[in-house]
A and B are shown apart, each in its own frame.
Chain A
Amino acid sequence: GAGVSQSPRYKVAKRGQDVALRCDPISGHVSLFWYQQALGQGPEFLTYFQNEAQLDKSGLPSDRFFAERPEGSVSTLKIQRTQQEDSAVYLCASSRREGTPEAFFGQGTRLTVV
């Protein structure tokens, strides 16, 4: 597939459980973004990577959220001790280079915390 791939598509977690969400960006894309989208709202920025460097994590809502991209390709968003307010769709996007407006989004992972 040529697009951004996210897994799992759906995740149900019990409150307090740790979860890991995976993003496979388009091959060769330098920039990678994570967004959180609550029901009925627009996506909200979480964090940004340029290759393996996490250059902006200003949108991460708490220290329970952690993202990594160790080899500059696949990225993982980890949420520790999940809370009900973490329930949302988590979107990953990649773009060819810095400064381009065209980001390619995956279908997202819908996280439900019960």
Chain B
Amino acid sequence: LAKTTQPISMDSYEGQEVNITCSHNNIATNDYITWYQQFPSQGPRFIIQGYKTKVTNEVASLFIPADRKSSTLSLPRVSLSDTAVYYCLVGDIGAAGNKLTFGGGTRVLVKP
């Protein structure tokens, strides 16, 4: 499984864009990049998943360069409610069990 490295924490302010970069130098050909969000006292929640280039949904955008050795989760115009831990996961979507392997995540604190 590809190991991921992401910042431990980030601070931001309401209305700003937050970009969290995750490094995954050993990503394999079959691996997808998936991001989860976790609020205090709740289980993680799927945000977005991608393989290459750019993916956008109603919550976030995911930018993946051509070499796929890193990815950046972009949260536009954050609000206080976006304060959470964000996890970058890399894995083979087709593998049996698709065991999601979480790292330490990035704690994002949005300030007023």
Q: Is B112 an interface residue (CB 8 A)?
A: no
Are B97 and A105 in contact, with the CB atoms below 8 A? no
Are A106 and B43 in contact, with the CB atoms below 8 A? yes
- Count of inter-chain pairs, beta carbons less than 8 A: 72
Q: Given A33-B99, A101-B32, A41–B43 Cβ distance below 8 Å?
A: no
Q: Is B101 an interface residue (CB 8 A)?
A: yes
Q: Which bracket fits the contact residues of B?
A: 20 to 34
Distance to closest chain B CB from A58 (angstroms): 9
Are B96 and A98 in contact, with the CB atoms below 8 A? yes
Are B96 and A102 in contact, with the CB atoms below 8 A? no
Chain B, 80-107, contact with A by CB distance < 8 Å: what is the 0/1 string? 0000010101010111111111111100
Are A99 and B105 in contact, with the CB atoms below 8 A? no
Q: Is A44 an interface residue (CB 8 A)?
A: yes
Contact surface of A with B, Cβ cutoff 8 Å:
4, 31, 33, 35, 41-45, 48, 50, 55-56, 91, 93, 95, 98-108
